[in-house]
Amino acid sequence: MIFGRSQRGKPPVEPVTLKILVAGGFGVGKTTLVGAVSEIRPLRTEELLTEAGRPVDDLSGVEQKHTTTVAMDFGRITLREDLVLYLFGTPGQERFWFMWDELSEGALGAVVLADTRRLEDCFAAVDYFERRGIPFLVGVNCFEGSARYPAETVRQALDLDPDVPVVMCDARDRESVKEVLVGVVQHAMAQAADRRRAVTT
Amino acid sequence: MSADGQGRNHWFDDEAGPVVRPYAMTRGRTTSAAQHRLDLIAVVVTEPHADDPEADVSLSPEHVDIVGLCRQAPQSVAELAAELDLPVGVVRVLVGDLVDEDLVHVNRPVPPAELPDENILRDVISGLRAL
């Protein structure tokens, strides 16, 4: 038997992999957010909006968006040789919800990206993560030209539990997105600590 | 059939998409014998002896591609699907075959019940900040 490459010393590093989901309404900037921090161009399946899609995809207030993501898209962040974080954008339209259960299984947490012009678009995502106990935070994507509202107003409008963080962010900005992701992980840690406390007391 | 069929050879064009259905690659299977469904972020690692998959006549070109990619560096199921432009379901079946053949093993992500391990989460936070 020939042992060509494998003789070159140590076996390949098998990384621990984690995933964070990025949810939110159609055209809110999920793919942009993934692209802002991913080391690979977001891998995705996108199709141009067609006649068939038009009744479903309400574009009012989202004039710049021409395509819609119809499958998952994802990015990768290698934090260490042995620790890799994947970001999965969840399909934005409700007819692709069947993919959510699979995506959310084992997820560390989630970002619900919100656009204050169409806040109702993220109700479904908030409901979904609340019901499954998946730690999530709401990132308000501050589009140019959209009115800014205080985080408290967004919290009330979405009827969020008091412990769910609401942060302002810019999905195009790498530093901003990094902070959002750190916020998700911190929230996941806090939620895990709460649960442990609930079990032991 | 032949005369008729030849006249209609090119009734489809590229826009029709792939004409061979994905399940042809899996020979009709939609699940593999491997007990667990592979997560999208499960990592596929080649075994040291999987050095010459082309020589194995029982493997399809897609199997060989998967072994080739994973030999360069371990790959997640999602990355394999994107890289090979195959549906995730097809990749799962093909990876299952390779596990059965003992050419690869799968490093499953930390099960949800054990997540979140505080130390890993701290590493994630410091890793993100250091980007």
pLDDT in tens, A96-111: 666 778 788 889 999 9
Q: Which residues contact A98 (CB under 8 A, 6 or more apart)?
A: none
B72 within domain boundaries: yes
- The CA distance from A17 to A11, in Å, is 18
Locus of tokens 């075959």: B97
Give the predicted TM-score (pTM) of the model.
Answer: 0.80
In a domain, B20, yes or no: no
From A80, A106, A182, residue closest to B129, measured CB to CB: A182
**More confident of the two residues A4 and A172:** A172
The pLDDT assigned to A69 comes to: 41
The alpha carbon of residue A100 is apart from the nearest alpha carbon of chain B, in Å, by: 12
- B86 pLDDT more than 90: no
Total domains in chain B come to: 1
Q: Does B33 touch chain A if contact means CB atoms closer than 8 Å?
A: no
pLDDT digits (tens, 9 = 90+) for A159-199: 999 999 999 999 999 999 999 999 999 999 998 888 888 87
Out of A53-67, B37-51, B58-72, B103-117, the most confident range is B58-72
ipTM (interface predicted TM): 0.79
| B106 within domain boundaries | yes
Whole-angstrom Cα distance, residue B36 to residue B27?
20
Domain that includes residue B80, residue range: 25-129
In a domain, B36, yes or no: yes
Which whole number is the average pLDDT over A136-140?
Answer: 97
Can you tell me whether residue A42 is helix, strand or coil?
A: coil
- Give B92 or A96, the one with higher predicted confidence: B92
Residue B51 lies in a domain: yes
Rounded mean pLDDT, A59-87: 73
- Reported CATH class of domain A14-200: alpha beta
Nearest partner of B104 among B94, B116, B113, judged by Cα: B94
Residue contact B78–A18, C-beta within 8 A = no
- Find the distance separating the first CA and the last CA of chain B, reported in whole Å: 62
